């Protein structure tokens, strides 16, 4: 349980610090690592990939998903912490601001995923979900 809590706290802190820093820096787009990563600031009022989901419904779904992750934490505590930290970060922004601050774009990713803008919390969610799935496969 301690690994899950520490990981979630680290992700939540990193997401908050990143958003604060980028909000202060302004909305300019910058390229990093040879153009593989672009910082493109925008506020996302929809769900993942801009899907139009109501604020209340999205918050309720997020809270339910985070509760489900807590039940899975024993098989992959660090992965559960990544999901919890990323999910709590996005949920907090959505409840506080009504939207989520996205800023990472990966233009060289093949297919349509290179067009979307993400945030650090989204990356933690994806990595954590993959870790939970891999942890489940190893137990079988």
Query: pLDDT value at position 60?
Result: 76
pLDDT of 133 > 80? The answer is yes
Residues forming the active site:
102, 122
Please tell me whether residue 1 adopts helix, strand or coil conformation.
Answer: coil
Neighbours of 21 (CB within 10 A): 10
pLDDT in tens, 48-84: 656 666 667 777 777 777 777 777 777 789 999 999 9
Burial class (CB in 10 A: 0-12, 13-18, 19+), 46: middle
Better pLDDT: 104 or 29 = 104
Kindly tell me the sign of the dihedral angle through the C-alpha atoms of 90, 69, 82, 2. Answer: positive
User: From CA 51, how far away is CA 13, in angstroms rounded?
Assistant: 26
The neighbouring-strand residues paired with 30 are: 39
């Amino acid at each position: 349980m301690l690994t899950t809590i520490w990981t979630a706290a680290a992700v939540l802190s990193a997401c908050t610090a990143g958003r604060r820093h980028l909000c202060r820096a302004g909305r300019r787009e910058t390229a990093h690592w040879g153009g593989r990563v672009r910082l493109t600031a925008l506020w996302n009022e929809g769900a993942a990939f801009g899907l139009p989901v109501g604020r209340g419904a999205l918050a309720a779904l997020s809270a339910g998903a985070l509760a489900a992750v807590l039940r899975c934490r024993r098989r992959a505590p660090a992965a559960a912490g990544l999901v919890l930290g990323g999910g709590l970060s996005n949920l907090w922004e959505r409840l506080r601001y009504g939207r989520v601050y996205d800023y990472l774009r990966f233009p060289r990713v093949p297919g349509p995923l290179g067009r979307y803008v993400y945030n650090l919390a989204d990356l933690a969610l994806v990595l954590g979900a993959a870790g939970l799935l891999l942890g489940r496969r190893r137990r079988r």
